[in-house]
Amino acid sequence: MHAIASLTAATLTATSLAMVLAGCATTPEEQKPAAVESRAPAKPEAVKPAPSVEARRMDPAAALKDPNNILSKRSVYFDFDKYDIKDEYKGLVEAHAKYLRENSGAKMLIQGNADERGSREYNLGLGQRRADSVKRALILLGGKEGQIESVSLGEEKPVCTEHAEGCWAKNRRDDMLYNGEY
């Protein structure tokens, strides 16, 4: 009798173990593809088409002075106490990076500026962080480090001297200058 109880217990244990293991088995589910982040601008800017390849070969710098070309826009504006590039200026930075990629002899100076609020030392540091952020973006987009120099002017080169938010916003900027302009 003791042998039957022992055999029954062993059988029940083995059966229970088999049922538990079978119950834990999973069937692989079909995975959905990962979502891809859209990097397209929220609202595309109306930009005139770039001049033909032949026109660029003749005088690539002409695009920099053409008021109908995005490359004639040279300032990136920042929020108060910030140095990240706003979405509305990313297309501008991309256009300048493309110009640098296609014109390896071009050189750019980025001047970082700040409004008058804050100490002189703080504003010099903030202006440098702003200039460096645009420089990094240009390099990531294909410009060469040897083509781009970044400096800070702090609060020393305001475009507006009134003491109001609208004026301060105009002074929180980077100016991009090409060789021959600085």
d(CA 79, CA 173): 9
pLDDT the model gives residue 7: 46
Domains of the chain with bracketed CATH: 75-182 (3.30.1330.60)
Mean pLDDT by 10 residues, the chain (182 residues): 52 54 55 60 53 57 94 97 98 98 97 97 98 98 98 97 96 97 89
As beta bridge partners, residue 148 has 108
Residues 104-119 pLDDT 10s? 999 999 999 999 999 9
Residues 87-98 pLDDT 10s? 999 999 999 999
d(CA 173, CA 125): 13
Coil, helix or strand at residue 177: strand
